[in-house]
Amino acid sequence: MNPTTETAWLLVGTNLLLFLALAPLFDGIVRRVAARVQNRQGPPLWQPLYDLLKLLGKENIDAVGILPFRLAPLVALASILCVVMILPVAGRATALTPYADTLTLIYLLTLGGVAVLVGAFSGKNIFALIGASREMTTMIMVEPILFMILLLGVIKTGSLELTTVLYGTPAGDYGWSGLIMIVIALFALQAFVGRQPFDIAEAEQELLGGPFIEYSGPNYALFKYYMMIKQMFYAYLPIAVFVPLLHSGLLVVDLILQLLLTALVFLVIGLLAATHPRYRIDQALNYFAGLFVLALGAVAGALFG
């Protein structure tokens, strides 16, 4: 094995570790921001991690008793971890990146969502069913927006390769279509991470957690972990796509800058979540439809403009 592949494998490990460790911290940032907007002290920054540990230590209740119900959380977490492993680190491809392209990324992200649906549909709980149907509707509307964002990169760079698509866009100039896409990414951010005003599927006040209502203990912890990592991925995505790399030559410096920017995105997420009521599903659909049309326009602009 030559030294470069070794470094590449090291990058996979670094990425995994970073996501696993920082996802709960970033979730803690959101909670702390919300607490400050509400004049509260708020929980410790590592509270989400403590929650996870506590849930992992609890009894695993198999509420439904069929295999899909037990497998769903594993599949969800595994799929998002796969996403993390193929993800380039600060513009440098990892050992696994060459095996995947942009489409694989989208497939894997969708797989996580599908696992949530499978878990919800495997029970007979009416709240889980309503939540799952809302989740599905949201997915159908939001995934295309994600697709458009990546498609713009594909068009701009003329390649499907992951590193190029994710980090290549700022290199070629934004153009007005790129600027529109930044706005779209910002407006779709809350939907990507599933927070107010778009936490419609979980909607504690009416659906009591929606798709996850039957889950408890370690199974639920896996789902929670999945949600946190997914949230971190989606917060990191606009940074990767739209913010140019520092190219300081040092991987660590680039990485730290990107992580700081991600933390900033989480600040925005926290502020937005704390200052919005939850939208109704029909209102959310109208909103997404508008974004989608705008995104189509931006892609068309990139193609012909």
Partner 1 sequence: MRKELEAQLAAQLRDEVVCVEKTDQRTIFIDVKREAIRRAARIVTEAGGRYMCGVGYDNIARDGTLGMVHTFSMDRNDHFICVRTKVPAIDPVMESITPDLPSAGWSEREFMDMLGMQFTNHPKPKRLVLADDWPAGIYPLRKEVPYDLVPPGADDVAYQLDEAPPGTKIVPIGPFHPSLHEPEHFAVYVDGETIKGCDYRGFMTHRGIEKLCQTQVSYNEVPFIAERICGICGSVHATAFSQAVESAGGIKIPRRAEYIRTLMLEIERIHSHLLWLGVAGHLIGFDTVFMQAWRVREQLMWLCERLTGNRKTYGMVLIGGVRRDITPEIADDIRAVVKKIEEELRVIHRAIEKDSSIHKRTKGVGTITKEETIAWGLIGPVARARGVDIDARRDHPYAAYNDMKFDVPVLTDCDVWSTLVVRVLETYEAIRIIHQVLDKMPAGPIFVELKDKIPALRHAITTVEAPRGESTHYVITGEDNRPDRWRVRAPTYTNLQAVPLMLLNEQFGDFPIIMGSIDPCFSCTDRVAVIDLQSGKASSMTRRELEFLSREQLHRA
Partner 2 sequence: MWLTSKIKQILMVMKPGIVTLDYPRQPAPAPATFRGQPVWDHHKCLGCGGCANHCPARCILTRDVCQELRVMLYDGSRCTYCGRCADVCPEEAITMSNNFQTACDDKNDITTRLELFMLTCQRCGRCYEMEKTNVIDRMELRGFRYDNLESRALIRQTTDTFSPETLAATEQYQRPSR
277 lies in the binding site for partner 2 (CB under 8 A) = no
In order of 3, 90, 148, 199, the CA distances from 300 in angstroms are 43, 29, 10, 30
Unique residue bearing structure tokens 């972990």: 225
List the single partner that 277 binds among partner 2, partner 1, none, CB under 5 to 8 Å by kind.
partner 1
User: Least distance (Å) from partner 1 to the CB of residue 303?
Assistant: 34
User: Least distance (Å) from partner 2 to the CB of residue 288?
Assistant: 17
Q: What is the DSSP letter of 170?
A: T
List the single partner that 36 binds among partner 1, partner 2, none, CB under 5 to 8 Å by kind.
partner 2
Residue 92's DSSP bridge partners are 89
Candidates 243, 271, 285, 296: give the one binding partner 2 (CB under 8 A): 271
Nearer to partner 2 among residue 246 and residue 267 (C-beta): 267
Q: What's the CA angle centered on 279, arms 270 and 176, to 5 degrees?
A: 70
Q: Which amino acid is at 175?
A: G
The token duo for 74 is: 């594993």
275: nearest Cα among 203, 190, 207: 190
Nearer to partner 1 among residue 255 and residue 284 (C-beta): 284
Q: Using CB under 8 A, which of the segments 31-39, 203-211, 223-231, 236-244 binds partner 2? A: 31-39
Nearer to partner 1 among residue 152 and residue 203 (C-beta): 203
Instruction: Give SS3 for 89.
Output: strand
Nearer to partner 2 among residue 45 and residue 243 (C-beta): 45
Q: Which residues bind partner 1 (CB under 8 A)?
A: 34, 37-40, 126-127, 130, 196-197, 199-200, 203-206, 208, 274-283
Classify each residue of 111-149 as buried b or exposed e, where b means 16 or more C-beta atoms within 10 Å of its C-beta.
bbbbbbbbbbbbbebebbbbbbbbbbbbbebbebbbbbb
Q: Which amino acid is at 246?
A: L
Candidates 275, 283, 300, 303: give the one binding partner 2 (CB under 8 A): 275
Nearer to partner 2 among residue 245 and residue 268 (C-beta): 268
User: Least distance (Å) from partner 2 to the CB of residue 196?
Assistant: 12
Catalog residues that contact partner 2 under the rule CB under 8 A: 36-41, 271, 275
